[in-house]
Amino acid sequence: MGLKKYAAVQADDCILNVQWAGDHLCVTPVTGAILVVDKEGEITSALPDHGLGNGASSATPDLVATCGFDGRVRFHSLPACEQVAEVKLGRSVIERVVWSPDGQHLAVGFGKNLLILDRKGETVATFGEHQTSVTDAAWNPKNAREVASVSGGGARMWRLGATEPFAKFDWGGASLSVAWSPDGRWLVTGDQTASVHLYDFNRDYPLHIQGYETKVKAMAFSPDGKKLATGGSPMVTVWDCTPKNGPEGSTPGQLQFHQGDVEAIAWSPDGKYLATGDILGRLVLSANDKPVSAFQGENNITSLAWNPDGTLLAVGDGDGLVVVFQAV
């Protein structure tokens, strides 16, 4: 498979994240308007920013939620892009919001609590209190009523309707991000130190993976949940999660396709291809641990997203440019 430039759009600032919502792409820069773009690269709407900085947005096919330093969450309908709700949660920074897989609930890390909002912006659950601010959340792809939160070193797994976490693990550091494997078995946290924690729900067991040269800035499970790709340094590490004990004691695949630190990773929806982007602007598409295609951009790649059918790959960079590639 090769990549062909298909469309492009320019946002005001460094791209924080790109996410597909059906046929539309939601482009969130660190400052300035959040763009809703069609797949031809035409801006459908420019949604209002969140003051001094935006947090990472989240989109379902019919609703996009935005957040930021102003302590607000806004809901806009798609594709009409009309504001349907706005919630001012307080003064604290909101770093990201995440929709549940069924698109019914939004997870918001706000201060020391994980808030769950419904589609109207009403708070339906408050999970807390965490010891420190909730930095990220991830929903169980297999169960839209289960969500994990990370804060200072560890994770809490919550079920809607309950007040206590049904699972948790702790360690003495701090977590930056979290992802839940598509098969529901694993939860991975990327840490402030150069490590990840991989929690096995089957065994109620957190595996501490060290040996990274840098902080792990990007993590992605393959769509079948069998592989976990992590990046942060120029080397992309791919862990095999299929053994009984997962990657414990195993040697990972180490992909050395980049010269610069890899800060964005995305698997194609069919799991065949891994897209990786580095801070020197190089995009590499690989299959079975071998590069199949590459593209050199001008700026650091900050975010990658495949559209649902895997025909388009959106690539956001540090200068606010989003290029949509077509898989050919």
Cβ proximity to another protein: between 77 and 193 the closer is 193
Cβ proximity to another protein: between 133 and 311 the closer is 133
Cβ proximity to another protein: between 9 and 327 the closer is 9
- Cβ pair 28, 34 in contact under 8 A: yes
Cβ proximity to another protein: between 174 and 294 the closer is 174
Q: Which residues contact 118 (CB under 8 A, 6 or more apart)?
A: 104, 105, 106, 124
Cβ proximity to another protein: between 69 and 273 the closer is 69
Q: Write b or e for each residue in 115-129: b if 16 or more Cβ atoms lie within 10 A of its Cβ, otherwise e.
A: bbbebebeeebebbe
Cβ proximity to another protein: between 204 and 213 the closer is 213
Supply the minimum distance, in Å, between the C-beta of residue 236 and another protein: 19
Q: Which residues bind another protein (CB under 8 A)?
A: 12-14, 16, 30-31, 51-53, 69, 71, 90-93, 95, 111-112, 132-133, 135, 152-153, 172-174, 176, 192-193, 214-215, 302, 318-320
Question: Which amino acid, one-letter code, is at 211?
Answer: G
Supply the minimum distance, in Å, between the C-beta of residue 130 and another protein: 10
Question: Which amino acid, one-letter code, is at 58?
Answer: S
Question: Which amino acid, one-letter code, is at 313?
Answer: L
Supply the minimum distance, in Å, between the C-beta of residue 24 and another protein: 24
The rounded distance, in Å, linking the Cα atoms of 28 and 50 is 11
The rounded distance, in Å, linking the Cα atoms of 187 and 13 is 31
Supply the minimum distance, in Å, between the C-beta of residue 32 and another protein: 9
Supply the minimum distance, in Å, between the C-beta of residue 284 and another protein: 22
Four-residue CA torsion sign, 25, 265, 223, 140: negative
CA angle 292, 297, 302 (to 5 degrees): 90
Supply the minimum distance, in Å, between the C-beta of residue 226 and another protein: 30
Give the tokens for residue 141. Answer: 């792809």
Four-residue CA torsion sign, 318, 65, 63, 137: positive
